[in-house]
Structure 1
Amino acid sequence: MKTYILLVFSLLGIAMFSHAQPTQVDKNLVVEDDLLTEEKLRDFQTLTQQKVTEFQRYLAIISDPTQSDEVRELAIENAEKLFLPGAAMQVGTVKKQTLIQEYPLSIYLRRLKNLEKKYFDVSITFYDLAMVGDWEKTQTGYVTTATYFQHFKGKGKDGKIAYEDKTIKHLDVDLRNRRDPFYEEHRWTVLLGNIRVAEVQPKKSAL
């Protein structure tokens, strides 16, 4: 029986991101309060990777029918806090051809929980660390893209795999000075955004 420890999102070392950021100036010595140092941007790349990992843990819990309903509901609640309002999730499946559908994140998480009605056992695992791109400056802050790799298995009551695939997904990431949903104060904060399917690989005969 699979077991998980549900963690309320609390990353070690996150406090370092709450400190006041050094004031930046442009080449004309004009103060630019919306700029971060290269060191801080690298720190936020690391934080983004940690947030993606935390989201992946929640997905594994939500999809696991052996977990209590209370634990799975808490995982849904905490997963939604990692994202921008209105974020959407693309889902890809491969049978005769690749089918990609898009759902609001809240609906996707509910559908994920309800997969227990379709499969006797569901397993979502992740291989390789999420890759986080360089930050691009915008008028409101910074944006980048994270890429993660997901392996899905759904088994029937006979224990045989009914459906399996590997999916590569791109995840929008938004960094700006905003009201942090966990600490309830304004700070430079990373929130995740829309998730897009980049590639779906069907189960291979060798598996």
Structure 2
Amino acid sequence: MSSFFFSTTSPPKARYLIPPPLDYETVLGILHNETLLHQVLYPELYSTLVQEDEDKIGREKRPAPSTAQPDPTVSLSLLSNGISCIEEMPLGFTATTIYTLSTSPDSSATSPDPSSLNQAPPSSSDPTLYLEEHRSLRALKPITRWVTHAEGPILKTRNLLRFLEEASAGKGGLGKDIDHAAALARASLYSLPAGKTDKFKDE
């Protein structure tokens, strides 16, 4: 269908503090690991029913192994300083979420160019690292007039922030065992309260 019938709406850019000691290269490596990132953003596609293991201490709940495949309606595209996540929906609707890294508290609110792959990364020595979220929804024009964007991080972003928090605590063996790291991501999404990500919001 022609773009004549569609329009795009976007909420303001959101920024979240990334917990130390995670640095630029480490977080960019997570964002560029498509296998791991897909499981972090969409754990419901990989986690089956939670199974209980009994030991001498008691019962321990953990997510059961899953052999789910990535959702074909979701595509991830690498950017020089982040990643673009595009979700295709019925009627030609498209939801795009772009995650980029920034070390500047006053960076521009302009959305990044998804085709740009030649930008030089900022210095990893900067002590403050931010995750920036740029969202947009492409839909039929009559519908976009009524679209409202909820405040606060969307589910994918909450999942990613929880995983980064878990990684910052030195857990998961990132870079050594993708399967183990992904399993830890799913476990952390079950155990951490949703409100815990609020402390990373950049006011």
TM-score (norm 2): 0.29
Please identify which structure carries the higher strand content: 1
Please identify which structure carries the higher helix content: 2
Considering Cα pairs closer than 8 Å and 6+ residues apart, tell me whether 1 or 2 has the greater RCO. Answer: 2
The structure with the larger Rg is 1
